[in-house]
Amino acid sequence: MRILVVEDERKIAEFVRRGLKEEGYSVDVAYDGEQGYQLAHLNDYDLIILDLMLPKIDGLTLCRQLRQEKMNIPILILTVRDSVKDKVTGLDAGANDYLTKPFAFEELLARCRALLRTYGEAEPTKLKVADLEFDLLSHRVTRSGREIYLTLKESSLLEYLMRQAGKVVTRTMIAEHVWDINFDSFTNVIDVYINRLRQKIDRGFDRPLIHTIRGRGYMLRE
């Protein structure tokens, strides 16, 4: 799950970025509306967290613009304004939810999860492929009931593969959804992580779940 944070206050941006990363999300930050607009078009985000008072293009204008262009990503507005009128204006501009600063990170996280769930067509709390299970709430991964311990990045990668189960995922798709904008796609980091996942998920089992699709990428399937 990749999130774009558009926030000009560096401290808040960093606080949100770090917190979301710790939860396993890939996060990019834009520090003004214009950069936010560009990044939103450049990458495939699952959620945008948008401040209202921004340099260059303000949050409401940006929100309207993205909706006019039929960009159908959930948008969570984050702002100090808290009057009913401002909330209504924000929601009318096409935002899906609204959070007033100062906020508790736990609440931001809960709202992000709710938005991602709504948009993910009744997102399940558990992913299952054959005997491999990933509990999205507790971040617990098991295969045949045996617990598998993954690092944050490994579990983000596995989550993405499981969500795309049965489909070919290219390295570019993985880079876009699991890593962030600072990722150097010319490295072999993705292959390294796939191999680590294989060691943890498939080793000791008769049927491998992670398959290499020659010349294209990878696929997770039974």
> Is the Cβ of residue 79 or residue 155 nearer to Ca ion in the bound state?
79
Question: Which of 8, 97, 154, 180: binder of Ca ion (CB under 5 A)?
Answer: 8
Least gap, CB of 51 to Ca ion (angstroms): 4
How does strand 217-220 pair with strand 210-213?
Answer: antiparallel
Q: Does 53 bind Ca ion (CB under 5 A)?
A: yes
SS3 for 132? strand
Segment near Ca ion (CB under 5 A); pick from 28-36, 50-58, 66-74, 103-111: 50-58
Q: Does 51 bind Ca ion (CB under 5 A)?
A: yes
> Is the Cβ of residue 53 or residue 57 nearer to Ca ion in the bound state?
53
Least gap, CB of 97 to Ca ion (angstroms): 18
Least gap, CB of 107 to Ca ion (angstroms): 19
Peptide bond into 102 cis (omega under 30): yes
Distance of alpha carbon 166 from alpha carbon 171, whole angstroms: 16
User: For the CA atoms of the chain, what is the radius of gyration?
Assistant: 19
Q: Does 12 bind Ca ion (CB under 5 A)?
A: no
Distance of alpha carbon 150 from alpha carbon 19, whole angstroms: 19
Dig out the tokens for 180 from the structure.
Answer: 């962030």
Least gap, CB of 159 to Ca ion (angstroms): 31
Which of 55, 48, 47 lies closest to 9, judged by CA? 55
DSSP code of residue 169: B
Least gap, CB of 92 to Ca ion (angstroms): 20
Distance of alpha carbon 117 from alpha carbon 136, whole angstroms: 11
Segment near Ca ion (CB under 5 A); pick from 26-34, 46-54, 183-191, 204-212: 46-54
Number of residues that bind Ca ion (CB under 5 A): 3
Distance of alpha carbon 190 from alpha carbon 197, whole angstroms: 10
> Is the Cβ of residue 55 or residue 208 nearer to Ca ion in the bound state?
55
> Is the Cβ of residue 86 or residue 133 nearer to Ca ion in the bound state?
86
Residues that bind Ca ion (CB under 5 A): 8, 51, 53
